[in-house]
Structure 1
Amino acid sequence: MRKFVWTAIVLLFLAGSAYLALNTSKVLVTSKAGAITEAKYMSSVTKTSAGEQLFVSMVMNDSLERLYGSSVSTTTVNNEYTQEKAQYGSSWSSFLSEEETTAKAYKKQIRTELLLVQAVKNYHKVTEAQLKKAYKTYTPKMNVSIITVSSSSKADTVLKNLKAGKSFASQAKQYSGDTTTAANGGKMPSFDSASPVVSSKIIAAAKALKTGDYSKKAISVNSEYIILKLNSKSKKESIGSYRDVLADSIINKWINTSSNSTKIQKIIGKVMNKNDVQVKTSQYPALKNAIDQYIVSTNTSSETSSTSSTSSSSSSSSKSSSSKSGSSSSKSSSSSSSSSSKK
C-alpha cells in the first residue's frame, strides 16, 4: 500500500468533499431535542480539525488539478491501480474495506498523489548527482504475468502444473485471485524498478528472470503468494531517456520522508498562491485560519523544473511515458515510491 505524508488529507478529501456544498437553510434531522440544520452542522464541522483539513484538501486538490492535471493521465492512474490490486488477489476487497475506501476513491487518491509529485518536482530541485545515482540501479520497463493465490499449497499446485507443461495463461485464469489480470492470462501493465506500487520483491524477481521464464518459487507479498513470468524487458538506454521517471522517483521518496512535511506544506502554499486562493467567507474563521497556514508570501515565479537545470540539452529526449506507470506513475508516481511505499 502507498503511504504518503499527505495521505490523511487526501483521504479526508475523498471521504466528505461534498459537505461544503450544503444548502445551509435545509433541515437535516429533527427530534424532540430540536432540529439540526445544515448551517448548524457546518458551524460544528468547520470548528473541528477534521473539517479544517477537509477544507484545505479540497482547495489543495483543485489547485493541483488546475496546474498539473494535464500531466497525469487516466491511463497512468488505472495502470497503477491495476498493478497494486493484482498483488492482493482475492483479498483486495478486504483491503479496501479495512482502509475504509472504495475503488473509485482509491483511484482518486492515486491521482492526487501523482499530482502532488508533479507539484513538488517544480519547487524541489533534483540534482544531477541524484539522477546519476538513481540511474545506476534503474531497470526500465518490464512486462510480467502473475498468478496470485491465497495459500502456499495453491502456489505449489500451480508450480506443479507449470512444470508439467501447462501454460501460464491457463493457470492464471484458473487459479489467480485477481480477476482483472487473470482474465488477461495474468498479464499486468508494464512497470519499471522505480514503480511506487509494485513490490520490491516482484521487481527483484522480474529483474532476475530471463524472457519467457517463470519464478520457480512463489513470492510472499501482502499475505498472498505470487508466481510471475517475465514476458519482456526493455533495453536500458542512456540516462537522458529516463530523467523524468528518475526525478519522479526521487521526489516520491522525498515526499515520503516525514522530516520534509513542513517543506511540503510550504510548497502547497506556493501552489495555492499561484492559484490566487482567497477565502471569501467570514462566517467560518477557522477555515480561513486553516488556509492561512499554507499561504506563504513567497514569489512563485521562482518555480523551476527539477530536471531542467541539470541538463537542458537532454530535454527533448527526456520525456518518458508517464511518471508512475511508466515509472509508474505516480500515489507522481507517482507515485509515487517504492520508493518507500513498496512492500
Structure 2
Amino acid sequence: MTKKKWLVGAAAVLMSLGLASCSKTVATTSGGKITEQQYYDKMKQTPAGKQVLQQMILTKVLEKDYGKQVTQKQVNSEFNAYQKRYGKNFDTVLQRQNLTEATFKQQIRSNLLLRAAVKANTTITPKMLRQQWKEYQPNITVARIVVKNEGDANNIIDQLKQNGTYANFSKLAKKNSIDNQTKNDGGKLPPFNNETSGLDNTFKDAAFKLKPGKFTDKPVKTDYGYVVIYCIKHPAKGKMANHKQELRNQIINEQMNNQATLQRVAQKVLKNGNVQIKDKDLKNILSNYISGQQNPQ
C-alpha cells in the first residue's frame, strides 16, 4: 500500500470513529451502550421502521401542499369528538394504542392533511351526488332492546303491542336488555346516520325504516343478538339541494376508506414532492407508492 492510499484509508477510519462518537447514546447496559446510529441501523431494516419513515415522508409533503388548509381548531374539534365518544375510557384507549394526547393530535392532523389531498384530487359529479343521496340518512335517534333469542324478542314485541309508548319500551329495556351500555338509559343510543360505523348494517337498515313512535314488529337478527328497535326521532330527508355539502363530505369520507383512491393520491403527491432517498439501504422504500422512481445513491 502506498503512503497516499494509507493516509486516505486512515482518514476514513478516523472519520467513521468520529461519527460514531458523535452519535448520542440511547441506552446503556452492563454489556455496553446503544447509540442512535446503532438503533437507526436496526430500525431501518424492520417493517415497522420502514412504515414510520414512509408516513413521515408523506406527511412532510402533505404539510407543504395542504398545511394551510388544516387548522389547529379542526384538529382540536376532532380530538374533542373522540374524547366525547369514549368518555371516561378515553385515556385507556390512548394507552392501548401507545398514544399520548400530543401524538394522537399529530395523527389527527396527518389524517386531515390526507383528506385535504383526497378532496383536491377527487372530482364529484352530479351522478355521484345522486347516488349518495340514495344512501343518505339524517341523524336518527332510537332505543333498542337486545336479547339472546328470537322468542324473547317476540315476547317483548307482544308487550309493546299492548303498550307501545316509549316509557314502556324504556321499562322493558331496563328489565330485559343484555346491552349493558344502553339498558340503564332505556336502551337509548346516540344519534347516528348512514355513515356511522360500529353498528350492524341490518340494525341500521331496520332503524331507518321506522317513523317516530314506532317499533319493529319483528325481531332484527344481528351479530350480537335479537333486537327490538324503537324510533324516538327520525327527521325527514328533505330535498337533495339542501344537503349537497353533506353529500360531498360523505363522498370524500368514502374515498378516505378506499385503498385504491388513497394509493392513487399518495402516488401523485409523492411524485410531485421531489422526494429523494439518501440512504441506499432504503432506496426502494416508496416503491409501493411510486413505480419506477429513481432514488439517488
Q: Give the TM-score taking structure 2 as reference length.
A: 0.61
User: How many corresponding residue pairs?
Assistant: 250
Aligned to 2:209: 208
Distance (Å, rounded) in 2 between the aligned partners of 1:78 and 1:123: 27
Which shifted more, 160-169 or 287-296? 287-296
Aligned to 1:134: 132
Deviation at 1:124, TM superposition (A): 0.9
Distance (Å, rounded) in 2 between the aligned partners of 1:134 and 1:232: 22
Cα 1:160–1:130 change in 2 (3 A) is: closer
Structure with greater contact order relative to length (CA < 8 Å, sep ≥ 6): 1
Aligned to 1:177: 179
User: Residues 99-147 of structure 1, C-alpha deviation per residue, up to 9 Å, x if partnerless?
Assistant: x748989x87788666644431222111111102221343322112234
- Between the two proteins, what is the percent identity of the paired residues? 24
SS of residue in 2 equivalent to 1:210: coil
Aligned to 1:121: 119
SS of residue in 1 equivalent to 2:117: helix
User: Residues 196-226 of structure 1, C-alpha deviation per residue, up to 9 Å, x if partnerless?
Assistant: 4443212211122121223344434444444
Q: Does 1:68 align with 2:70?
A: yes
Cα RMSD after superposing both structures: 4.7
Distance (Å, rounded) in 1 between the aligned partners of 2:220 and 2:121: 39
Structure number with the higher helix fraction is 2
Which runs of structure 2 are paired with 1:3-152 in the superposition (5 Å)?
A: 25-28=24-27, 30=29, 32=31, 34-58=32-56, 60=58, 63=62, 66=67, 67-68=69-70, 70-71=73-74, 73-74=77-78, 77-78=81-82, 101=97, 116-148=114-146, 151-152=148-149
Deviation at 1:242, TM superposition (A): 1.9
Cα 1:177–1:113 change in 2 (3 A) is: farther
CA contact 1:215–1:227 (8 Å) conserved in 2: yes
Q: Does 1:159 align with 2:156?
A: yes
* One-letter amino acid matched to 1:43: D
Q: Which has the larger radius of gyration?
A: 2
Which shifted more, 170-179 or 244-253? 170-179
SS of residue in 2 equivalent to 1:227: strand
User: Residues 24-58 of structure 1, C-alpha deviation per residue, up to 9 Å, x if partnerless?
Assistant: 633436355x5434442222112333212123334
- Please list every run of 5 or more consecutive structure 1 residues that lacks an aligned counterpart in the other structure: 1-23, 86-92, 297-343
* One-letter amino acid matched to 1:56: Q
CA contact 1:147–1:186 (8 Å) conserved in 2: yes
CA contact 1:131–1:247 (8 Å) conserved in 2: yes
Deviation at 1:256, TM superposition (A): 3.7
CA contact 1:68–1:119 (8 Å) conserved in 2: no
Deviation at 1:232, TM superposition (A): 0.8
Deviation at 1:159, TM superposition (A): 2.6
